[in-house]
Each structure stands twice: as C-alpha cells, then as structure tokens.
C-alpha cells in the first residue's frame, strides 16, 4: 500500500519536474544552472556549481562565462582549471573545450540576451555593409532582414539542431569569403568614425575645462584684487594725496583688468559655439527641415499640390491686420507658439479651399 503511494508520488514529481525543465531549457541546457538562477533571488546564496563556494563566505566572488557554452563558473575555478591550457567544461554533459582567454564577465542577467548580443557583435563584424553600398533602399532593407535572420538563427537554434546551425554558419562563412575586401574597408570606416566621435568629445571636453578654469581664475583674482585695492587705497591715503583722485585711479585699474578677462572668456565661448564638433545637432536638423516646411504632412509624404493659388508674402508685416498683429503681441499666445505667418497662411488657404469647385455643376454630374 505505502509503496504504491510512494510510487504515485514519484510519478507526480516526475510529471511536475519534466515540463519545468522543458520550459527552462530555453535559457540553458543544464539543470545546475537552473538551480543557481532560482537562487538569484538572494544574492548571498549564489554558489559556484564547481567548487561550491557560496557568495556568503566570499563576497568578492565573480562569475565568468565562456561564449562557447555560457556556463557560469567562478573566477577562482577558472584560474584553477584553465591555467594549464584548454580543457573541457567542468559541467556535466558539456563537452565543449574552453580556453581561459575567452572567459568574460556576464553583462546581462539573462543568459539568453548575453548570448544574442555576442552573436550580434560577431555577425555585425562580418555583415557590415552600409546603406551607400547598395543601389536601392530596398536592397539595403533586404540585407538588414537577412542579417537579422542569421542572428536569430544563430542565437536561437540550440545544440540539438547542429546540422541547421552548421548550415547557417557555413552561409556566414561563404558571405565572409565573398566580401572579404568590403568587410575590411567597412570595418576601417567604422573605426575611423568612432575615432572621430571620440576626438570630438575630447575636444569639447578640453574646451569646456578651459572655460571653467578661466571662470574660476577670474573669481579668485577678483577676491584677491579687492583686498589688494583696499590696501592700496589705505596706503595712498596715508601719504595724504587727494582721496577722490586715488579712488578714481584704482577704479580705472579694476575696470581695465576685468575687461581684458572678460574678452578672453568671450573668445573662448565663441570658439565653443562655432566649433563644428560642438555645434548643436538639434539646430542642424531644424535647418534641414526648413526646406520641407512648406509641404504639409500627408501619409504619402507630401502629395499635396505645391502650386497654391495664393502666396503668403515673405514680409508679412506688410499685411495690415490690426487684429492679428495685436494678438501676436500677447505674451501668452507667443508662448504657445503663435506665429503670424502661420495664421496668414491658414486664412489664405481657406480662402481658396474649394475655389475651383462649382458645386451645382459637379453635383449634377454625380446624379
């Protein structure tokens, strides 16, 4: 009797655990990893599955993963096991050969994301064409789609489908061989772009630093000067010359000094502003948009008639319209984006909206 109960319990346990492992299989193919993931709730309970050291005892413990199999191993274990050269992964049933050099810190909690990003970086390095390498936009879009497909397949096919995986990898290899030169060129291009960006940032930073330093210097000097002037005045006064004259002289001196400093600051500000690196990109975008500002937005990208029956005068001050020009003086409307020109445009547009529609004639035809 009791045996039977125990048996059923066993069956139940199996039933319960089996689907569980299956759902989790997406994330890893080993049970021990699942355990550690479940324990993630409390960071202190994390235990290295190899040496069983828990974080509670050694709070400095760090986990590393190898992109071959993404199994978590603590740092000391990596040192211990792999210093002598490439060896098998210490996890059970994992026969991958790992090298110490390839071990790295895990950035994302979710191992799957970590995996995908690695794959992504790898694929990006190979399939790295730019928009200008294609003749049409559609070709480029197709290329992007292909690239995403490869990434998806590489990161989501698990080891069970090795043949498929191999196929994809073969495809990638083939692509690499075919486009070897282009890939190199593009990689260099990318690098130079990055360099430029970092250059730009450093220039901006140095300029900014200079400015701050100058400001600080000015302030310090101010305080210093004030004290020295006071002393100067007292000293001069003790000599007994005309006091008004002394004060005027000292004031002149201060003014000259200050203005020279101010000029320096202004120059620096100018450089900061005019520097193409530091130029505000938002403004540039606005300038670009100005060209298309006349075209009203439509879902099909400006399919409205461009030749209007009217023309809003550039110099809209010419219009004599006390009502609207008065409105444009009210601060609360200006704050809301009130723009005389827009209003004039709208009014003129309404004036010719349906100008060519002869209602009776067209309705007659419709009947």
Partner 1 sequence: MSSTKTSDKAAKTADNILFTNQRVTDDDIYRNSTQFSAWSFTKESLNEIRVELANKTRLRYQQKIESYFMEEEAETLNDEEKEAIKLEFSLGISAEEQLQIVTLYTQKVQVFCTKLKLPSEVVATSMLFFKKFYITNSVIDLHPKNLIFTCIFLACKSENHFISAETFAAKVKQDKQKILENEFRLLESLKFSLMNHHLFKPLHGFYLDIQSVLQGKIDKNYLGTVYEKSKKMLINSYLSDAFYYYSPPHITLTALIMEDEQLILKYLELKFLGFDPETSSDSLTESQKISKNMYDKLMKTVSSCKTDIKTSFLPDRDTAWKIDARIHYFIDPSAFVKRFRAQKETASDITEEPDQKKQKVE
Which part of the chain contacts partner 1 (CB under 8 A), choosing from 40-48, 133-141, 175-183, 344-352? Answer: 344-352
Question: Is the Cβ of residue 105 or residue 346 nearer to partner 1 in the bound state?
Answer: 346
Q: Shortest Cβ distance from residue 338 to partner 1 (Å)?
A: 16
Residues in the chain: 367
C-alpha to C-alpha distance for 63 and 194, rounded to whole angstroms: 31
Size of the residue set binding partner 1 (CB under 8 A): 36
- Is residue 284 a contact residue for partner 1 (CB under 8 A)? no
Q: Shortest Cβ distance from residue 29 to partner 1 (Å)?
A: 55
> What's the gap between Cα 230 and its chain centre?
54
C-alpha to C-alpha distance for 344 and 323, rounded to whole angstroms: 12
User: What count of other Cβ atoms lies within 10 Å of the Cβ of residue 55?
Assistant: 19
Q: Shortest Cβ distance from residue 318 to partner 1 (Å)?
A: 7
Q: Shortest Cβ distance from residue 336 to partner 1 (Å)?
A: 15
Site map for partner 1, 152-181, x if CB under 8 A? ------------------------------
85 backbone φψ class: left, alpha, beta (φ>0; ψ -120 to 50): left
From 177, 160, 144, select the one nearest 152 (Cα to Cα): 144
Question: Is the Cβ of residue 277 or residue 338 nearer to partner 1 in the bound state?
Answer: 338
Q: Shortest Cβ distance from residue 303 to partner 1 (Å)?
A: 6
Site map for partner 1, 300-339, x if CB under 8 A? ---xxxx-xxxx-x----xxxx------------------
> What's the gap between Cα 114 and its chain centre?
18
Q: Which run of H or E residues covers position 341?
A: helix 340-351
Question: Is the Cβ of residue 75 or residue 321 nearer to partner 1 in the bound state?
Answer: 321
Q: Shortest Cβ distance from residue 332 to partner 1 (Å)?
A: 18
Question: Is the Cβ of residue 8 or residue 325 nearer to partner 1 in the bound state?
Answer: 325
User: With contact defined as beta carbons under 8 Å apart, do 41 and 52 qualify?
Assistant: no
Site map for partner 1, 243-282, x if CB under 8 A? ----------------------------------------
Which part of the chain contacts partner 1 (CB under 8 A), choosing from 60-68, 281-289, 327-335, 350-358? Answer: 350-358
C-alpha to C-alpha distance for 57 and 45, rounded to whole angstroms: 10
Q: What tokens does 132 get? A: 């200008």
Q: Shortest Cβ distance from residue 139 to partner 1 (Å)?
A: 22
From 35, 34, 9, select the one nearest 24 (Cα to Cα): 34
Sign of CA dihedral 312, 313, 314, 317: negative
Question: Is the Cβ of residue 95 or residue 367 nearer to partner 1 in the bound state?
Answer: 367
Q: Shortest Cβ distance from residue 320 to partner 1 (Å)?
A: 4
Question: Is the Cβ of residue 86 or residue 296 nearer to partner 1 in the bound state?
Answer: 296
From 40, 41, 38, 48, select the one nearest 71 (Cα to Cα): 48
Bridge partner residues of 64 (DSSP) = 73, 105
In the three-class reduction of DSSP (H, G, I as helix; E, B as strand; rest coil), residue 97 is classed as strand
Task: Report the chain's terminal Cα–Cα distance, integer Å.
Answer: 91
C-alpha to C-alpha distance for 55 and 43, rounded to whole angstroms: 7
Which part of the chain contacts partner 1 (CB under 8 A), choosing from 28-36, 104-112, 188-196, 345-353? Answer: 345-353
Question: Phi and psi of 111, rounded to 5°?
Answer: -65, -25
Q: Shortest Cβ distance from residue 271 to partner 1 (Å)?
A: 44
Residues near partner 1, by CB under 8 A: 298, 303-306, 308-311, 313, 318-321, 344, 346-365, 367
């Amino acid at each position: 009797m009791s045996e039977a109960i125990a048996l059923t319990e066993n069956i139940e346990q199996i039933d319960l655990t089996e689907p569980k492992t299956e759902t989790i299989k997406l994330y890893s193919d080993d049970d021990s990893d699942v355990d550690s993931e479940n324990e993630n709730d409390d960071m202190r309970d994390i235990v290295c599955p190899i040496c069983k050291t828990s974080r509670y005892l050694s709070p400095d413990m760090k986990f590393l993963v190898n992109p071959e199999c993404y199994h978590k191993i603590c740092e000391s274990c990596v040192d211990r096991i792999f210093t002598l050269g490439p060896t098998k992964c210490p996890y059970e049933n994992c026969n991958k050969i790992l090298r110490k050099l390839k071990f790295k810190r895990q950035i994302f909690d979710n191992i799957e994301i970590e995996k995908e990003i690695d794959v992504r970086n790898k694929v990006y390095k190979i399939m790295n064409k730019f928009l200008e390498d294609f003749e049409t936009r559609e070709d480029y879009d197709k290329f992007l789609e292909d690239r995403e497909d490869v990434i998806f397949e590489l990161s989501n096919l698990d080891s069970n489908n090795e043949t498929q995986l191999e196929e994809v990898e073969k495809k990638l290899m083939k692509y690499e061989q075919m486009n070897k030169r282009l890939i190199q060129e593009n990689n260099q291009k990318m690098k130079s772009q990055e360099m430029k960006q970092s250059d730009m940032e450093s220039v901006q930073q140095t300029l900014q630093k200079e400015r701050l330093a100058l400001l600080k210097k000015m302030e310090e000097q101010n305080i210093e000067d004030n004290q020295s002037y006071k002393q100067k005045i007292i000293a001069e006064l003790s000599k007994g010359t005309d006091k008004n004259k002394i004060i005027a002289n000292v004031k002149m001196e201060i003014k000259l000094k200050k203005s020279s400093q101010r000029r320096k600051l202004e120059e620096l500000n100018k450089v900061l502003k005019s520097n193409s690196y530091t130029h505000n990109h938002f403004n540039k975008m606005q300038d670009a948009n100005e060209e298309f500002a006349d075209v009203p937005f439509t879902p099909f990208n400006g399919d409205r008639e461009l030749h209007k029956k009217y023309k809003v005068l550039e110099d809209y001050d010419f219009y004599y319209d006390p009502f609207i020009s008065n409105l444009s003086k009210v601060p609360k409307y200006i704050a809301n984006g009130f723009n005389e020109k827009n209003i004039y445009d709208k009014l003129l547009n309404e004036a010719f909206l349906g100008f060519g529609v002869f209602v009776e004639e067209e309705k007659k035809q419709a009947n």
